[in-house]
Amino acid sequence: MGYTVLIPARLASTRLPNKPLADIAGVPMVVRVAQRVLSGVTPATNVVVAADHPSILQACKAHGIAAVLTREDHASGSDRLAEACEVLGLGDTDIVVNVQGDEPLIDTALVHATAQLLTARPEAAMSTAAHPISSVEDFKNPNVVKVVLDAVGLALYFSRAPIAWWRDGFAQGITQLPQPAPLRHIGIYGYRVGFLRMFPTLAQAPIEQTEALEQLRAMWHGYRIAVHTTATAPGTGVDTPEDLERVRRIFASGQTAV
């Protein structure tokens, strides 16, 4: 099954300036992400960086990574992906997977599973992933996005709140996890290109604005999201200087097997 992996890369970052070009063992981070994806996907898969600055384009070219230049003023990552689809001439029925440019330890099996899910679930416009939460603190943390599913693995709702709410067990506060284990959303997305082209034109949803979760826009407008459930948490992403140092230590130790 062929599909395209798009890696959006934006030079501006509040917490970590020039993040896509941050050095990880002698290679820019966004290149590390692309190299990792390429090491684990099928030969039929195209892996392309969607850059917002010529310096990212140049860094990719220097390391043999395909990249396209997109506008700097996109309001969201999905807008950037939609432009990249136009530049690449992808058709409406093609499938793309969005891998964030700050995930140099991304599980490549997860990338493929996210793409396969859209092929298997024609009723879904998008796909994503989740894993069971094992920590009460993660369950309570609003920065950890939770998702609840229906009987066939389609998303019912995403929230920063601790869902599903255990009516009887949480009467005295959240001290243990409900069963079955709640699910943590993993920020990887698959799209049908026709839907991705249309998505930026959809009106923002009230629940999207309240929760600050863009995927709720699709659900509010009636589109379904299929969810792949994996047993394990994804690798460390890079949001802060501390994260970057942690990832650098992992690469220095050689513990980066796909």
Q: Which residue has the tokens 């255990």?
A: 166
Backbone angles phi, psi at 207, to 5 degrees: -70, -30
Over residues 210-237, the pLDDT tens digits come to 999 999 999 999 999 999 999 988 877 8
From the candidate CATH numbers 3.90.550.10, 3.40.720.10, 3.90.78.10, 1.10.3720.10, the one assigned to the domain spanning 1-106: 3.90.550.10
**Where in the chain are the domains?**
1-106
Six token digits for residue 66: 């395909």
At 257, the pLDDT band (50, 70, 90 cuts) reads low
> Strand 183-192 vs strand 95-98: parallel, antiparallel, or unpaired?
antiparallel
Task: Give CA–CA dist 37/109, Å, rounded.
Answer: 9
At 149, the pLDDT band (50, 70, 90 cuts) reads very high
Six token digits for residue 101: 């440019």
Backbone angles phi, psi at 156, to 5 degrees: -95, -35
Angle between helices 29-40 and 54-62 (to 10 degrees): 50
pLDDT the model gives residue 48: 97
Say what percent of the chain tops pLDDT 90. Answer: 83
Helical H segments across the chain, by residue range: 29-40, 54-62, 77-88, 108-120, 136-140, 193-198, 206-211, 215-220, 241-253
